[in-house]
């Protein structure tokens, strides 16, 4: 009995060992972590509005337009969806501690999730990243625990329900912005100085507020460029005002539901053993073909419609009525592709490299913030709004290469990335061994 208690105590006080990790999950997480930078680089290097409208950074023709369209079709929303699904899967992995006391595991989970909220606040405020997802993941994770014991079918039911709710939000945004835009266009057609109806005046004010909110007003963009070339304090004030909005109204209206739906789906897929590459290659091929077969044409149609509309607000990514269907299908396609590679045992060196990045996902995510802000903000090299998309994506390739090499070298000597080590040590309230055996 004492031996069993000792083994239980040992399990509860230690994180999952490197040998016990599921490599296919680490590989998939590495793909998502690197892929997220394809979208995030826009907010790091250009005015925030460039994430919604390519006219902000002049990506409307030539190679830059091709890069814009490629990111919209092949990446937008998909990598974030995978990242969210894997967070849900990670909850189940964390909870699976044989012999451990359920109350202790619950306490560890909430402490771990609360620490993630703090990491998110650190990333958003101290490191100045307005697009942080750690805070949203932590806040959503506090709710996710309630669903841990549901069957995969019930998890799927809840996931579909939440995602249908977010789809209603997208549909509502699409048609309300479309109607608002039509009223504003009618008011503008009357010419300057024309007498407007009360509805037209209110609509113009709401439209201007919407443009300012998304960083699409010319005055706001000029102010943002000037601020981003300034010092830390000016950047902190600018970032904090946007972050507060994102972490309050943005969280309640969109972020929470968007993330929760994908996390619940990730839990269902984990219970169905989709992420551990144990299903048949045929299963993963069908998943890949179905996902890409729906997601890529749908995303291409959405992008084409957005361009042909003259980049109207109601056709921007998160305002598209089919946004969730497209990005979810795309994510499932990538999951199928990565699992085919892992299941078939090909490209083993690439798998290992991506798995190392995935094992250090928290460190690499925060590292992307640090690297990008040092390059683009006035606190570093001050390259904000200086590069077109061709330059930005060459830079992204450089960051990818650096993180792959860095992760490989680091994990040859250490068990965890530095921020993973800190997270685990604070979670278990004891200093975790850092060095790999033999290092």
Contact 123, 369 (CB under 8 A): yes
- CA–CA distance, 402 with 164 (Å, rounded to integer): 39
Which of 109, 43, 31 has the alpha carbon at shortest distance from 330? 31
pLDDT for res 13 = 53
Within-domain flag for 437 = no
Structure tokens at 119: 């990491």
Is pLDDT at 5 greater than 60 in this prediction? Answer: no
Within-domain flag for 438 = no
Domain around 142: 2-428
By CB atoms closer than 10 A (0-12, 13-18, 19+), residue 9 is: middle
What's the number of domains the chain is made of? Answer: 1
Place of tokens 């451990």: 100
Within-domain flag for 347 = yes
pLDDT for res 101 = 77
Structure tokens at 185: 């266009």
Contact 91, 109 (CB under 8 A): yes
Q: Three-state SS for 230? A: coil
pTM for the model: 0.92
Size of the chain in residues: 439
Average pLDDT for residues 131-138, to the nearest whole number?
Answer: 96
Within-domain flag for 435 = no
- CA–CA distance, 359 with 144 (Å, rounded to integer): 22
Within-domain flag for 356 = yes
Summarised one tens digit per residue, pLDDT across range 82-128 is 999 999 999 999 888 766 677 888 999 999 999 999 999 999 999 99
Within-domain flag for 278 = yes
- CA–CA distance, 72 with 49 (Å, rounded to integer): 15
pLDDT for res 102 = 78
Within-domain flag for 154 = yes
Within-domain flag for 433 = no
């Amino acid at each position: 009995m004492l031996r069993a208690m000792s083994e239980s105590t040992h399990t509860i006080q230690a994180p999952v060992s490197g040998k016990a990790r599921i490599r296919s999950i680490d590989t998939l997480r590495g793909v998502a972590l690197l892929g997220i930078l394809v979208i995030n680089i826009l907010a790091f290097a250009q005015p925030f509005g460039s994430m919604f409208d390519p006219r902000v950074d002049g990506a409307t023709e030539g190679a830059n337009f091709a890069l814009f369209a490629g990111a919209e079709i092949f990446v937008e929303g998909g990598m974030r969806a995978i990242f969210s699904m894997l967070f849900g899967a990670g909850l189940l992995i964390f909870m699976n501690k044989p012999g451990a006391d359920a109350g202790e595991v619950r306490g560890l989970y909430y402490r771990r999730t609360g620490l993630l909220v703090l990491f998110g606040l650190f990333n958003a405020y101290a490191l100045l990243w307005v697009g942080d997802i750690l805070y949203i993941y932590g806040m959503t994770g506090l709710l996710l625990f309630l669903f841990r014991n549901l069957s995969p079918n019930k998890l799927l039911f809840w996931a579909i329900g939440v995602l249908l709710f977010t789809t209603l939000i997208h549909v509502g945004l699409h048609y309300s912005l479309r109607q608002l835009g039509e009223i504003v266009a009618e008011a503008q057609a009357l010419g300057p100085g024309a007498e407007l109806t009360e509805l037209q005046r209110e609509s113009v004010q709401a439209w201007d507020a919407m443009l300012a909110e998304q960083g699409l007003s010319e005055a706001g963009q000029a102010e943002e460029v000037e601020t981003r070339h300034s010092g830390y304090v000016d950047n902190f004030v600018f970032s904090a005002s946007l972050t507060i909005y994102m972490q309050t109204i943005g969280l309640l209206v969109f972020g929470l539901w968007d993330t929760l739906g994908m996390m619940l789906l990730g839990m269902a897929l984990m219970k169905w053993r989709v992420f551990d590459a144990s299903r048949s290659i045929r299963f993963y091929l069908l998943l890949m073909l179905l996902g890409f077969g729906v997601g890529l044409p749908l995303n291409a149609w959405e992008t084409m419609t957005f361009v042909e509309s003259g980049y109207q607000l109601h056709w921007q990514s998160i305002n598209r009525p089919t946004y969730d269907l497209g990005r979810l299908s795309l994510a499932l396609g990538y999951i199928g592709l990565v699992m085919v590679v892992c299941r078939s045992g090909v490209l083993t060196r690439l798998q290992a490299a991506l798995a190392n990045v995935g094992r250090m996902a928290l460190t690499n995510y925060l590292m992307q913030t640090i690297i990008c802000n040092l390059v683009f903000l006035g606190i570093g090299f001050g390259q904000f709004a200086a590069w077109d998309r061709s330059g930005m994506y060459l830079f992204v390739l450089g960051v990818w290469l650096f993180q792959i090499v860095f992760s490989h070298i680091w994990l040859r000597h250490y068990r965890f990335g530095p921020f993973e080590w800190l997270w685990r040590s604070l979670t278990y309230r004891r200093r975790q061994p850092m060095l790999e055996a033999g290092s």
